Chain A
Amino acid sequence: MIPREVHRQLRAAHAEGNYAPLLALIPYAGLIGIECSRQGEDLLFRLPASPDNIGNPLLPAIHGGVIAGFMELSAALYLLIFSESAAIPKIIDFSVDYLRAGHVRDTYAQCQLWRQGRRVTNVAITAWQGSQAEPIATARAHFKIEELSPPLK
């Protein structure tokens, strides 16, 4: 369960647009180097270019698993901030389509909450590098959440 105090911290983080303390709680977030910033009412996720994330030495390109992990983590953080779930959202399934090679440059992701039920949510994630109109991957995920009060967004 997420303590009430943590919900308060989440709202404060979103109000200030400072998500670093939240990310610092998740070791995997630090491993791949994900960052999060506020864009109006939305969230923009960034995965800075890092040689440690390479999975294809020929191109070279970012490992598909890292791109998927970045997108899944983006979706979970998005839900953590925008859905007042009583528990940390639990991933049920995740499906990713790779559209272009992810070169070793900064990668961005944005999420869209298509459906928020009482128990399950459906989130779509788009990841891109140069232009948002040319995504390198699209994904969608189902998360299990626990009882919500009205969402912030």
Chain B
Amino acid sequence: MAQAQRFLSALRHCQLLGMRVEQSDAEGMTLVLPYSPNIVGNPQTGAIHGGALTTLMDTTCGMATLCVLPVFEVCPTLDLRIDYMHPSEPGKDIYGYAQCYRVTRDVIFARGMAYQDDPQRPIAQVVGTFMRLGKAVKGGQGFASQLKESAQ
């Protein structure tokens, strides 16, 4: 949980959006995107833009890899697909939940959803594939140990 928060706080755009970790365990990752007038995409309805939602879900799916990997690895997104179920309601925070349902040597498959009040009524469903770069990425090990040390 502390490691997840550390990780998220290193992502500048996520800080700009005010995102925070709601829950993190072996099962999956839940992040919160607070409602803000800055991220509205449709001024007629006050619904937030799909881009902010995509940022939430890309981050949530990407961070869900922390839940399944024994040691930190940089996992860039290979692809991401979002199905928009309902427009978001103005004024309400958005929760992103994701879990990894298959981990292979090179690739991690993740899926998740975004919702406001009711997880049973998601505003978006997401599926994505993430590349495992391993530990030996430039800067990756230093970053990993930073995450660990601050978590202790």
Task: Tell me the A residues contacting B by CB distance below 8 Å.
Answer: 25-28, 30-32, 51-58, 62-66, 68-70, 72-73, 76, 88, 90-98, 101
> Which residue of chain A has its CB nearest to the CB of B143?
A58
Interface residues on B, range: 35 or more
Whole-angstrom distance between the alpha carbons of A15 and B87 in the complex?
32
Contact for B84 among A51, A70, A92, CB less than 8 A = A92
Q: Which of B39-66 contact A (CB under 8 A)?
A: 39-44, 48-52, 54-59, 62
Asked whether A56 and B76 contact (CB < 8 A) given A64-B58, A66-B51, A94-B81, the answer is yes
> Which residue of chain A has its CB nearest to the CB of B48?
A28
| Chain B positions 18 through 41: 1 when the CB is less than 8 Å from some CB of chain A, otherwise 0 | 000000000000000000011111
Q: Chain A: interface secondary structure?
A: mixed
Interface contacts (Cβ under 8 Å), in number, total: 133
Residue pair B13, A88 in contact (C-beta under 8 Å): no
Nearest 8 pairs of A and B residues by beta carbon:
A69-B51, A65-B55, A28-B49, A95-B81, A58-B139, A63-B13, A65-B58, A68-B54
Residue pair A98, B79 in contact (C-beta under 8 Å): yes
Residue pair A28, B38 in contact (C-beta under 8 Å): yes
Task: Tell me the B residues contacting A by CB distance below 8 Å.
Answer: 10-14, 16, 37-44, 48-52, 54-59, 62, 74, 76-84, 87, 137-140, 143
> Which residue of chain A has its CB nearest to the CB of B139?
A58
Q: Write out the residue numbers on chain B whose beta carbons fall within 8 Å of the beta carbon of A97.
A: 78-79
30 contacts between A and B (CB under 8 A): A26-B41, A26-B43, A27-B37, A27-B41, A27-B49, A28-B38, A28-B40, A31-B38, A31-B39, A31-B52, A51-B12, A52-B12, A52-B13, A55-B11, A55-B12, A55-B14, A64-B62, A64-B80, A65-B54, A66-B13, A66-B55, A69-B55, A70-B51, A73-B41, A76-B41, A88-B42, A90-B84, A94-B82, A96-B81, A98-B80
